[in-house]
């Protein structure tokens, strides 16, 4: 099983990268990477710029891990993003999460992996209904075949609809399993970062 | 124009004293019960089958003792106070987990129907040891039964039903989950009302209304009514299935 990290274009002031921001004494990108390494030795990433690729590579090297990255110019192009990460993946399963998720729950990821045994995909939706920037796991081969047939995929939701055997877990349902919504939190803006700091204080308590 | 009554619509329950088991030919069963009664099936009738009976005949039954629950099933079971094995069967037949609240698990089933527990049901099976689940494609099953009736000599519409709760009203109502031979949705948009005003919204969910009416005779499942026959309803023939009644998620105001 491979874990794929998605690095979205930064919306933070001064073009700071969320992955490089310190939460406590740890970079957010490192927190995500450590969680990914809990599940697989093979971590790959799709990023939106060379700078982001370099930042993720440095974080991985600091951890003693190798990480292949691919730069995708248009992170809004779902087929391009998913294809890029599937191209790098040489396993049967891919678990995808944002590289700026500091608190993703190991329990939730474990449950997703277990569910993937009998399905082509498991998708966790965020509060707004989108599943693009949050967690999903897919079987690599069915997803590759689907992407070859449907180059017009508009969202990961399309993937969810078109893969035959999938399970989507709504924000509401998943909240019952992860009441603090940690698994659904990624840092993309300065406001997100301030919220992450508040959450960190809550976690520390 | 003369004031008068409309033509009558009749509704019969098809009672079967035995237990439906996997492989039973439901079309033959309904056809022969009707033939032996005063109301043999006729062309243009509608046969309404409950999903429970269809599930049993199609072998969609699983003993809970043979089910190994996943971690997610165990976590949800604890939340809603249900058996983990039951929740596991529900998860296996779901495409979406929509809401977990109180004792309720609202899902979208493999067949695309948003309902409690993906239609997985313990009642009237074998005292709770096993559950039945909804076949993955009830429209295909309805078409199969319609073809079987045709071979037996009658051209009928077939509706497969399940009883669903409604978010804003108390009580459950029968809905169509599978359909073949009749147009499930009568689209009146563009037609004019009695005053000449053009209708903009009106689409009548005919298959759902048939399903709801049928439950008046099939509701007491403990009495062994396995199907209903509706005669005298003038329907538009169609190969469209009940899946056409499912509102696409992007248009849904509540999910």
- The reported pLDDT for the residue numbered A193 is 93
Lowest mean pLDDT among A75-79, A91-95, A197-201, B238-242: A75-79
- The reported pLDDT for the residue numbered A131 is 52
Determine contact: A111 vs chain B, CB below 8 A.
yes
Determine contact: A118 vs chain B, CB below 8 A.
yes
Please say whether the dihedral angle defined by the alpha carbons of residues A23, A26, A29 and A32, taken in this order, is positive or negative: negative
B194 and B146: one domain?
Answer: yes
Residue of B176 and B128 predicted with greater confidence = B176
The encoded tokens of residue B72 equal: 């997610």
In a domain? residue B233: yes
Model confidence band, residue A194 (pLDDT cutoffs 50, 70, 90): very high
CA distance A137 to chain B (A): 14
| HEC letters along chain B | CCCCCCCCCEEEEEECCCCCCCCCCHHHHHHHHHHHCCCCCCCCCEEEEEHHHHHHHCCCEEEHHHCCCCHHHHHHHHHHCCCHHHHHHHHHCEEEEEEEECCEEEEEECCCCEEEHHHCECCCCCCCCEEECCCCCHHHHHHHHHHHHHHHCCCCEEEEEEEEEECCEEEEEEEEEEEEEECCCEECCCCECCCCCECCCCEECHHHHHHHHHHHHHCCHHHCEEEEEEECCCCCEECCCHHHHCCCHHHCCCC
Within 8 A of A176 by CB-CB distance, chain B residues are: 76, 79, 100-101
Within 8 A of B98 by CB-CB distance, chain A residues are: 170, 172-173
CB contact under 8 A, A173 and B98: yes
Domain end (from B133, B167, B192): B133
CATH number, residue B122: 3.90.1660.10
Residue of B127 and A52 predicted with greater confidence = A52
- The reported pLDDT for the residue numbered B93 is 94
- The reported pLDDT for the residue numbered B85 is 96
pLDDT at position B221 over 70? no
Mutual orientation of helices A140-149 and A78-88 as an angle, nearest 10°?
140
Percent of chain B surpassing pLDDT 90: 75
B143 and B204: one domain?
Answer: yes
Average pLDDT over residues B42-66: 95
Domain end (from B109, B133, B157): B133
- Residue A173 is nearest to which of B92, B95, B99, comparing CB atoms? B99
Model confidence band, residue A83 (pLDDT cutoffs 50, 70, 90): confident
- CA–CA gap between residue B241 and residue B158 (Å, rounded): 10
B53 and B159: one domain?
Answer: yes
Average pLDDT over residues A89-107: 89
B192 φ/ψ angles, rounded to the nearest 5 degrees: -105, 145
- The reported pLDDT for the residue numbered A3 is 92
Q: What are the C-alpha distances in Å from B170 to residues A5, B164, B166?
A: 46, 11, 7
B49 and B152: one domain?
Answer: yes
Model confidence band, residue B255 (pLDDT cutoffs 50, 70, 90): low
Would you say B95 and A166 are in contact if contact means Cβ atoms under 8 Å apart?
Answer: yes
Determine contact: B95 vs chain A, CB below 8 A.
yes
- The reported pLDDT for the residue numbered B176 is 98
- Residue A167 is nearest to which of B76, B95, B101, comparing CB atoms? B95
The total number of residues written for chain B in this structure: 255
CATH number, residue B236: 3.30.1330.100
CA distance A183 to chain B (A): 15
pLDDT at position B124 over 80? no
- The reported pLDDT for the residue numbered B222 is 63
pLDDT at position A128 over 70? no
Domains and CATH numbers, chain A: 2-204 (3.90.550.10)
Q: What are the C-alpha distances in Å from A24 to residues A10, A21, A99?
A: 20, 10, 17
CA distance A107 to chain B (A): 9
Average pLDDT over residues A140-162: 80
Average pLDDT over residues B136-142: 96
Using CA coordinates, name the residue in chain A closest to B112: A161
Would you say A167 and B91 are in contact if contact means Cβ atoms under 8 Å apart?
Answer: yes
Total domains present in chain B: 2
CB contact under 8 A, B72 and A177: yes
Determine contact: A167 vs chain B, CB below 8 A.
yes
Within 8 A of B99 by CB-CB distance, chain A residues are: 170, 172-173
- The reported pLDDT for the residue numbered B30 is 97
Pairing of β B237-238 and β B169-182: antiparallel
Model confidence band, residue B230 (pLDDT cutoffs 50, 70, 90): very high
The total number of residues written for chain A in this structure: 205
- The reported pLDDT for the residue numbered B25 is 96
Average pLDDT over residues B149-165: 96
B110 and B214: one domain?
Answer: no
pLDDT at position B131 over 90? yes
Using CA coordinates, name the residue in chain A closest to B106: A173
In a domain? residue B255: no
The encoded tokens of residue A8 equal: 């979205």
Cβ neighbours of residue B172 under 8 Å, at least 6 residues apart?
A: B163, B164, B165, B166
- DSSP per position, A97-133: EETT-S---HHHHHHHHHHHTT-SEEEE--TTS--TT
In a domain? residue B111: yes
- The reported pLDDT for the residue numbered A7 is 86
Using CA coordinates, name the residue in chain B closest to A166: B95
Say how many CB pairs under 8 Å bridge A and B: 46
B212 and B104: one domain?
Answer: no
- CA–CA gap between residue A1 and residue A173 (Å, rounded): 26
Residue of B12 and B19 predicted with greater confidence = B12
Average pLDDT over residues B7-27: 93
Residue of B2 and B166 predicted with greater confidence = B166
- The reported pLDDT for the residue numbered B224 is 85
- The reported pLDDT for the residue numbered A132 is 52
Average pLDDT over residues B248-254: 74
pLDDT at position A199 over 60? yes
Within 8 A of B91 by CB-CB distance, chain A residues are: 115, 167
Using CA coordinates, name the residue in chain B closest to A160: B95
Determine contact: B102 vs chain A, CB below 8 A.
no
Determine contact: A110 vs chain B, CB below 8 A.
yes
CA distance A199 to chain B (A): 24
Domain end (from B133, B151, B179): B133
Judged by DSSP in three states, A2 sits in strand
pLDDT at position B108 over 90? yes
B49 and B153: one domain?
Answer: yes
Average pLDDT over residues A165-175: 84
Which pTM was predicted?
0.86
Average pLDDT, chain A: 85
Using CA coordinates, name the residue in chain B closest to A178: B75
Average pLDDT, chain B: 92
- CA–CA gap between residue B238 and residue A166 (Å, rounded): 30
Within 8 A of B79 by CB-CB distance, chain A residues are: 176-177
| pLDDT per residue as tens digits for the range B191-202 | 998 899 998 989
B221 and B144: one domain?
Answer: yes
Judged by DSSP in three states, A89 sits in coil
Residue ranges making up the domain that contains B49: 1-60+135-247
B176 and B154: one domain?
Answer: yes
- The reported pLDDT for the residue numbered B77 is 93
ipTM of the complex: 0.80
Distance of CA B200 to the CA centre of its chain: 28
Model confidence band, residue A1 (pLDDT cutoffs 50, 70, 90): confident
Would you say A91 and A113 are in contact if contact means Cβ atoms under 8 Å apart?
Answer: no
Within 8 A of B71 by CB-CB distance, chain A residues are: 107, 110-111, 114
Mutual orientation of helices B71-80 and B84-92 as an angle, nearest 10°?
120
CB contact under 8 A, B98 and A110: no
Average pLDDT over residues B136-163: 97
- CA–CA gap between residue B251 and residue B67 (Å, rounded): 36
């Amino acid at each position: 099983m491979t874990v794929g990290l998605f690095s979205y274009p930064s919306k933070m002031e001064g073009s700071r990268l969320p992955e490089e921001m310190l939460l406590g004494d740890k970079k957010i990108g490192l927190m995500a990477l450590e969680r990914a390494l809990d599940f697989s030795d093979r971590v790959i990433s799709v990023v939106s710029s060379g700078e982001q690729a370099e930042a993720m590579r440095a974080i991985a090297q600091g951890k003693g891990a190798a990480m292949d990255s691919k730069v995708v110019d248009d992170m809004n192009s779902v087929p391009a993003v998913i294809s890029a990460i599937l191209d790098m993946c040489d396993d049967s399963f891919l678990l995808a999460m944002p590289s700026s998720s500091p608190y993703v729950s190991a329990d939730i990821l474990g449950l997703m992996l277990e569910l993937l045994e009998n399905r082509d995909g498991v998708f966790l939706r965020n509060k707004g209904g989108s599943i693009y920037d949050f967690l999903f796991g897919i079987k690599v081969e069915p997803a590759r075949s689907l992407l070859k047939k449907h180059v017009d995929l508009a969202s990961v939701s399309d993937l969810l609809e078109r893969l035959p055997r999938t399970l989507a877990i709504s924000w509401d349902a998943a909240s019952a399993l992860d009441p603090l919504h940690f698994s659904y939190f990624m840092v993309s803006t300065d406001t997100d970062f301030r919220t992450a700091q508040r959450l960190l204080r809550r976690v520390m308590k | 124009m003369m004031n008068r009554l409309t033509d009558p619509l009749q509704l019969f329950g098809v009672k079967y004293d035995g237990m439906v088991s996997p492989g039973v030919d439901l079309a033959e069963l309904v056809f022969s019960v009707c033939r032996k009664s005063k109301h043999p099936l006729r062309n243009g009738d509608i046969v309404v089958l409950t999903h429970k009976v269809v599930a049993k005949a199609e072998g969609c039954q699983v003993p809970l003792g043979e089910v190994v629950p996943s971690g997610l099933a165990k976590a949800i079971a604890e939340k809603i106070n249900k058996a983990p094995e039951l929740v596991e069967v529900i998860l296996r037949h779901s495409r979406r987990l929509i809401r977990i609240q109180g004792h309720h698990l609202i899902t979208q089933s493999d067949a695309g129907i948003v309902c409690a527990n993906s239609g997985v049901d313990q009642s009237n099976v074998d005292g709770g040891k096993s559950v039945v689940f909804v076949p993955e494609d009830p429209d295909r099953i309805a078409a199969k039964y319609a073809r079987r009736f045709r071979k037996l000599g009658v051209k009928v519409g077939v509706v497969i039903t399940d009883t669903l709760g409604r978010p804003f009203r108390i009580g459950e109502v029968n809905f169509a989950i599978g359909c073949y031979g009749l147009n499930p949705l009568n689209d009146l948009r563009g037609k004019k009302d009695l005053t000449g005003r053009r209708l903009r919204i009106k689409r009548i969910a005919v298959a759902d209304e048939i399903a709801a009416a049928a439950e008046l005779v099939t509701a007491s499942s403990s009495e062994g009514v396995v199907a209903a026959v509706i005669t005298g309803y003038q329907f538009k023939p169609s190969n469209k299935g009940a899946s056409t009644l499912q509102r696409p998620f992007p248009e849904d105001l509540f999910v």
